[in-house]
Structure 1
């Protein structure tokens, strides 16, 4: 009886450790990247960057996601879960420091380091959930999606106010970008001190990558995720600049951008429990994908209601992302296939997404109109809706 009682007390403690670690990791997987956009105007003026170069800078993390994501699985095999996650968080920490140094080369290098850490973290996060909560994946997925949105909302909304503090010899935007360390340092310390799990390595062996690459449904999930990502990152990268050019003050544009990140908090909490009850999510994902398109069209036609369109875009786009993310588990037969599909969809999906920000920058530079650039976002949103509908059919690999 005494042994059983001690085990009953130990299980909740280890469960709390696992969920805290997952949420701390998730909080660092969006904020360090999205926090750059509110400061683009200041960075462009400080470093004399063109809109095309700035668009390429916004795509560097996405390009890094594409090439680094497949490497997360062999890293997991040799380092196991805890050390792999610590590696990811340390890469993000180094990237934040380099990006804030005030030089274009270090800005790019730091952005690449952040991309490496986020790419590895994105792949490992579902592994951590599956390992610690194999029977509560939907609930924990909703929680870590919430944490990702919270982290990006906190950092993005504070960037412009922090940049006006301008302490010591740093420029304002450099000091603001360093604020991301407030999320990364606690997460890294927690994972360094967290006890290791003994079964992390088994998750990475015998991955059926060839089978996944030959699967039609795997490609549908990948393309749905890819065009969802290109829609979000292209829109998010230029939203503050679009709002400023439409006549809004920099601070107000920054707060509206913060609302975009705030709107991404809620879909996980709202939709994941709903998905558990629905027999088919096809109609739901089509509604959210088309809601994203409607929000962009609304911003083009009635920019004075930018707050409404931004919130609608953030909620619908993230809702589409959450549902598509659930397909990684729903369309696979076991954890090995799910891990392989996760690596494939995030690698190729983010490779697709890399073209978004620079294309919008080039379209604006050529046409001198943000409406033409937003038209590209509308087109990618419609393609996302098509592949999302296909991926939502009840099919297995």
Structure 2
């Protein structure tokens, strides 16, 4: 396997700078949400809609990213996503209700584009190290979200007198897209003719969504990622309430919830040496995905060991996500295919994820307990295990000139 050259290391830095933008602007809102509600006189339902908007935006805009990439080129589309993120952050920090909603939507569009395009960037620049680079940038996403979330409240206390504290702290996250734009904007003008030629070649290899919708492998990858996201948001969204209801104090529930966020960071580093050596991805992702099922059942059987089950859930869920995300590169033949598959899987995936908390809340209300909601999530996790293994075993996508998949590849 080839080593990183100085030029690829520079590109890797650019990938990391983009990754810092794909979660941090979302997680930065939760710590200051109470300040936002107080200063803008928002009801709980209005605040809840703000927290739901990001997932809705990701579901809506993810499918548009491949078309944008095909039309203007991969790197330019990535710059557009960063500009949207910067504009979204600036608009939602203006201090009024309407800009808060509008800015969140624009921000969501930018993050949706970035989420879809980054696997294609990895496919283009690191074709021999897709799994390793994917695991690294997922780790960087976790670092960015943790850093942003931990800084929001302290920064809000340092705001100038003419600004609400939450305005200042949310605006601070502009440093993430600005840093990434400082890298990617000069790189556009510095592209060599060979890279421009490659971009033109990729543009001619456009893969229509209709072709992917007929491909079993594309659906296996999509459902593996989508159901994995469903299980995470369904469980994490209700975890503090679950813990409170089984006897944990609000403070302890908060600590355990924080531990869940921390546990999702670990696989980004832990999987890198494993993915570099293991070739049987079906066995690896099967073990990781089944760990999600085991952790959920453990939460029901022995809730007194919640911190152990929550840690296992975070490790297993994020590991499954990283490996399944790497399939976007492994199962495609060019960057446009990777962008198209990424758009399909993340659009459908976030649409599924957005239904998770509401469905689990409904089951809890109907059953009057948490056993059936958690069993429901575990059943989804079991289905995710099946599709994850099928995705790992599937062959690489390759379409002929008519957009039909060649079954022999």
Tell me what 2:114 maps to. Answer: 121
Question: Does structure 1 retain, via aligned residues, the 8 Å contact 2:58–2:347?
Answer: yes
User: Which ranges in structure 1 are unaligned for 5 or more consecutive residues?
Assistant: 1-10
The structural deviation recorded for 1:334 is 4.4
Question: Does structure 1 retain, via aligned residues, the 8 Å contact 2:130–2:330?
Answer: no
The structural deviation recorded for 1:377 is 3.3
Residue 64 (1) aligns with residue 48 (2): no
Residue 343 (1) aligns with residue 343 (2): yes
**Mean Cα deviation higher: 15-24 or 163-172:** 163-172
**Mean Cα deviation higher: 211-220 or 41-50:** 41-50
User: Which ranges in structure 2 are unaligned for 5 or more consecutive residues?
Assistant: 398-409
SS in structure 2 of the partner of residue 207 of structure 1: coil
The structural deviation recorded for 1:333 is 4.2
Change (3 A) 1:189 1:220: same
Q: What TM-score results when the alignment is normalised by the length of structure 1?
A: 0.82
Change (3 A) 1:362 1:193: farther
Change (3 A) 1:216 1:132: closer
Change (3 A) 1:172 1:148: same
- Encode CA deviations 1:246-302: one digit per residue, 9 max, x unaligned: 5323xx766654433332223233324423433422232222223223334445566
Tell me what 1:6 maps to. Answer: none
RMSD of aligned Cα (Å):
3.3
Tell me what 1:248 maps to. Answer: 250
Tell me what 1:36 maps to. Answer: 29
Q: Kindly report which structure 2 residues correspond to 1:145-294, keeping only aligned pairs within 5 A, or say none.
A: 145-162=138-155, 168=161, 170-196=163-189, 197=191, 198=196, 199-209=198-208, 210-239=210-239, 246-249=248-251, 256-294=256-294
Change (3 A) 1:253 1:91: farther
Question: Does structure 2 retain, via aligned residues, the 8 Å contact 1:261–1:314?
Answer: yes
Q: Aligned pair count?
A: 384
**Mean Cα deviation higher: 132-141 or 212-221:** 132-141
Change (3 A) 1:230 1:15: same
SS in structure 2 of the partner of residue 354 of structure 1: helix
Question: Does structure 1 retain, via aligned residues, the 8 Å contact 2:117–2:342?
Answer: no
The structural deviation recorded for 1:67 is 2.4
Question: Does structure 2 retain, via aligned residues, the 8 Å contact 1:77–1:201?
Answer: no
Change (3 A) 1:332 1:12: closer
Q: Kindly report which structure 2 residues correspond to 1:322-341, keeping only aligned pairs within 5 A, or say none.
A: 322-341=322-341
SS in structure 1 of the partner of residue 383 of structure 2: helix
Change (3 A) 1:99 1:356: farther
Residue 18 (1) aligns with residue 11 (2): yes
Mapped partners of 2:297, 2:364: distance in 1:
17
The structural deviation recorded for 1:335 is 4.2
The structural deviation recorded for 1:58 is 3.1
Question: Does structure 2 retain, via aligned residues, the 8 Å contact 1:100–1:177?
Answer: yes
Tell me what 2:44 maps to. Answer: 50
Tell me what 1:385 maps to. Answer: 385
Mapped partners of 1:280, 1:71: distance in 2:
33
Tell me what 2:401 maps to. Answer: none
Mapped partners of 1:32, 1:82: distance in 2:
21
The structural deviation recorded for 1:92 is 1.2
